[in-house]
Structure 1
Amino acid sequence: MTEAAAAPFFDVLIVGAGLSGVGAAWHLQRGCPGKTWAILEARAALGGTWDLFRYPGVRSDSDMYTLGYAFRPWTEGKAIADGPSIRRYIAQTARDNGIDRHIRYGHKVVGAHWSSIDACWRVEAEHDGRRVWLRTRFLAMCSGYYSYDEAYRPRFDGEDAFAGRIVQPQFWPAGLDYRSRRVVVVGSGATAVTLVPAMAQDAAHVTMLQRSPTYVVSRPSEYGFAQRLRRWLPARAAYALTRWRVIVESMLLYRVARSKPELAKRRIVEMARHQLGPGYDVDTHFTPGYKPWDQRVCVVPDGDLFRAIRAGRASVATDRIQRFTPEGLLLESGRLLPADVVVLATGLRIKLLGGIAITVDGKPFRPNDAMSYKGMMLSGLPNCVLTFGYTNASWTLKADLTAAWVVRLLRHMDRKGQDVAVVHREPGVEPEPFLGFTSGYVQRARAELPQQGSRKPWQVYQNYVQDMLTIRYGRIADGVLRFGRKGAMP
């Protein structure tokens, strides 16, 4: 008997012990209490993104009333929470529900191989320098959408001549001393607008260098209505009402932004102008050339970025890098930007399905050839669900729906005596981009992402209520999802 054939068997294997993986485990043990399962986590700690990123000021740009789990109230005061608080929330959820006992740390999944004859996945992982095998009936991919091992790193002329230090947020060096130093943060996305005000508290000055502006919106770090509800109602009721208010408000604002983009653009720019004062060049630095939500809108709690700029501790330069010099950065405009530390907040590198090598009955599986079913399964990939959150709302909203749907699917298969669930591309469904974003990290990954389709159930909605109706209340046996017994692909 081969090592793979003798490997331990689980009904479900969850890949990733971040927000999605811990949430999936909670749903699974509650909805399918008799099933065996484990979480495989490549790193030595749970938390995913919120354990990986350690740069100054790291926080979520989604509120915790929707980024938090539906089943566990967020009870801290700040709605826009810092990374350590989110990490503690995930860890407490895992510990209080016994989920942490099922996590196998240091297990980096590198391969998954489906056999229709056995109706089983053989999962290959690296652990303590050796290869280990596990088998599972069902695979829940909760490993996020970007590479933990590398970020997008453009190269610039003259880097070797630079006398200062170049760092990346994803790999923040412990003990980096930037006190009283001149810092340049390259980028204008969520990471950059977080770093600038945080570093400006100790640095001599921080400049955010951007090629083009991003929409930046100030939101309160604490929600007064949530605090009032907590005084009047039990914690769970207050949390549920707050969650739904935030969901509805966010959906309405998004709909207005997409249906009336010029109105939304004007309003966002006016808010930035109000924050920065009449003498600031908002047209150059905070007026993007694209429509709101063509890229993600950046949130700054309590206007901290704007405050740092007003106080003179931070500034914005809208220009391009020509090259590095020993003293800093020479821009295309001819301006020399002095720097002791340059932070390249230039984006993520997308890696779907954890970048693992997947085969189906011996044939390599390429996500780019597949079409997404309800934003959860990929055509031609049996007994496997991919957790992928929203781009215009909190990740966990979709993750919760996906985890609950997996429970419904497994229970349906048990009732019907089925071993395999798979979808296949339907004729006449035109392929469309999986994500409609124009952001650089999305465009760079077009050859890696799957497609969505021109009609349901192949469309990827960016709408929680629509997904809730489709995923939570829609029929499992919808005529598109196929079921079968072991021995052959249905």
Structure 2
Amino acid sequence: MAEHVDVLIIGAGLSGIGAAATLAQRQPGKSYRILERRSASGGTWDLFRYPGVRSDSDMYTLGYRFKPWMGEKALADGASILDYVRETAEEYDVERHIRYDHHVKSAEWDSVTSAWTVTAEVDGKPTTYTANFLWSCSGYYNYDEGFTPDFAGRDDFTGQIVHPQHWPEDLDYTGKRVVVIGSGATAVTLVPAMAPDAAKVTMLQRSPTYILSLPSKDPLALGLRKVLPKQAAYNVTRLKNITQAAALYTVSQKQPRLMRAMIRKLTQRMLPEDYPVDVHFKPTYGPWDQRLCLVPNGDLFKAIRSGKAEVVTDTIDTFTPDGIRLGSGEELEADIIITATGLNLHLFGGVEVSVDGKKFDAPHTMAYRGLMLSEMPNFAYTIGYTNASWTLKADLVAEYVCRLLEKMDEKGATTVVPVRQEGVAEEPFMDFEAGYVLRSLDQLPKQGDVEPWKLKQNWFYDVRQIRNSELDDGVLAFS
């Protein structure tokens, strides 16, 4: 017989463990399981092992609302974040609810029984669970394979080619010439981390990215800890950082020329005199049309000033036996090439979903408050913000699901589903120009042009609309 639980969570990463901990606090009477494909918890923070791996959001907002981050660094290393996530799982007795090495293959909703039947593969054999409510916390990228363009001449290169998502434990880059292809968060983390040991590290970018330096430690946070209880100190720092990030985003959207000039000025100060800032650090898009990259204490700029790292802005013509020939004709010699070229987006972990025998068709559904989908009963998903910390949204989703479960109990309802309203126009799921999003927009649900179908990507707005909204809003149908 299939094991039955009230809530079945897919994924034991940052989102899944946060969801379970919130459920344990707010709905202690609900039974739940977490199905995790891998043999360890932590998700992203256990998977990625490349040099210098760290958060690209400050830990006072990447940390859970209910568990203060007590580390010294605001931009923490991956190992410290993993410890924090696993410590949370222990504190809230989540660990015993996790079933590892469970690769979820399918999820089928049956309106007659008002339940999901979820099939997972364990050691090559199918295992079945049933649940009243299904919650996807599997993130949005493919764990199996990162995105790598089809580079001409790739097989001609005689050195090593590495994607950061699959970093070899035994990779020795000491004294080697390293070329990192990319200009996003992973690339700007790798370059300063590898520079001290490599002969030279070159960041090869097709186009520049906005990069801001952030102090590695937050003086206010460390000061408040001395005079306030740890939760109170954490709350103040968290709100301060949320406000600052929201203000930065708002100004970037409303006054892009002003923000562009400010970022350029700050960047110029951190680079050598007469450095060609406009060649390597002047993006063609506006600030926050793509995610800003944060670097702790300007470590990338320090690596460039030291001469151990450089930035080259050009296109790739072909790989050669000894490196990369650029569109300009120049050749970059390399012993190791790292393709920090992004992620492959993967909705709900690639699980095959059906509702009453009908295959789920994501592009024909609409997102409700950025956490449920039309035509999908008793289902929620956690996807974080694109313009702020992932966990800020994850916390709100977890709180909302707990409120929703409580409301269902109050009403004696066994089913809840957002009902799409007539006249709501469709818009792309994410208004974001990152490559991994643009490559996959046609595979994603839509959002609407009016609330509660429109995503605002704004925490202050979502606090009102998600944390404090009325559940009987005329859109959610309870039965």
The within-5 A match list for 1:12-411 is: 12-411=7-406
Query: Shift of the alpha carbon at 1:168?
Result: 0.2
Q: TM-score, normalised by structure 1?
A: 0.97
Q: Is contact 2:24–2:92 with CA below 8 Å preserved after alignment?
A: no
Query: Shift of the alpha carbon at 1:369?
Result: 1.2
Q: Is contact 2:105–2:351 with CA below 8 Å preserved after alignment?
A: yes
Query: Shift of the alpha carbon at 1:278?
Result: 2.8
The within-5 A match list for 1:424-435 is: 424-435=419-430
Task: Give, in whole Å, the separation in 2 of the partners of 1:433 and 1:157.
Answer: 32
Task: Give, in whole Å, the separation in 2 of the partners of 1:458 and 1:33.
Answer: 30
Query: Shift of the alpha carbon at 1:424?
Result: 2.5
Aligned pair 1:482/2:477, yes or no? yes
Q: How many residues align?
A: 479
C-alpha distance after superposition, 1:165-217 (max 9, x if no partner): 10000000111011000000000000000000001111000000000000000
Q: Is contact 1:351–1:448 with CA below 8 Å preserved after alignment?
A: no
Task: Give, in whole Å, the separation in 1 of the partners of 2:107 and 2:337.
Answer: 39
Task: Give, in whole Å, the separation in 1 of the partners of 2:154 and 2:372.
Answer: 43
Instruction: Give the SS at the match of 2:338.
Output: strand
Instruction: Give the SS at the match of 1:422.
Output: strand
Q: Is contact 2:182–2:204 with CA below 8 Å preserved after alignment?
A: yes
Instruction: Give the SS at the match of 1:231.
Output: coil
Instruction: Give the SS at the match of 1:89.
Output: helix
Q: Is contact 1:63–1:80 with CA below 8 Å preserved after alignment?
A: yes
Task: Give, in whole Å, the separation in 2 of the partners of 1:381 and 1:54.
Answer: 36
Task: Give, in whole Å, the separation in 1 of the partners of 2:362 and 2:211.
Answer: 33
Instruction: Give the SS at the match of 2:443.
Output: coil
Q: Percent identity over the alignment?
A: 54
Instruction: Give the SS at the match of 2:226.
Output: helix
Query: Shift of the alpha carbon at 1:399?
Result: 0.4
After superposing on structure 2, the runs of 4+ consecutive aligned residues of structure 1 that deviate more than 3 Å are none
Task: Give, in whole Å, the separation in 2 of the partners of 1:133 and 1:323.
Answer: 48
Q: TM-score, normalised by structure 2?
A: 0.99
Aligned pair 1:413/2:408, yes or no? yes
C-alpha distance after superposition, 1:198-242 (max 9, x if no partner): 011110000000000000000001011111111111111111111
Task: Give, in whole Å, the separation in 2 of the partners of 1:27 and 1:171.
Answer: 32
Task: Give, in whole Å, the separation in 1 of the partners of 2:22 and 2:312.
Answer: 47
Gaps of 5+ in 2: none
Task: Give, in whole Å, the separation in 2 of the partners of 1:352 and 1:398.
Answer: 17
Tell me which residue corresponds to 1:456. Answer: 451
Task: Give, in whole Å, the separation in 2 of the partners of 1:418 and 1:478.
Answer: 16
Query: Shift of the alpha carbon at 1:96?
Result: 1.6
Gaps of 5+ in 1: 1-5, 485-490
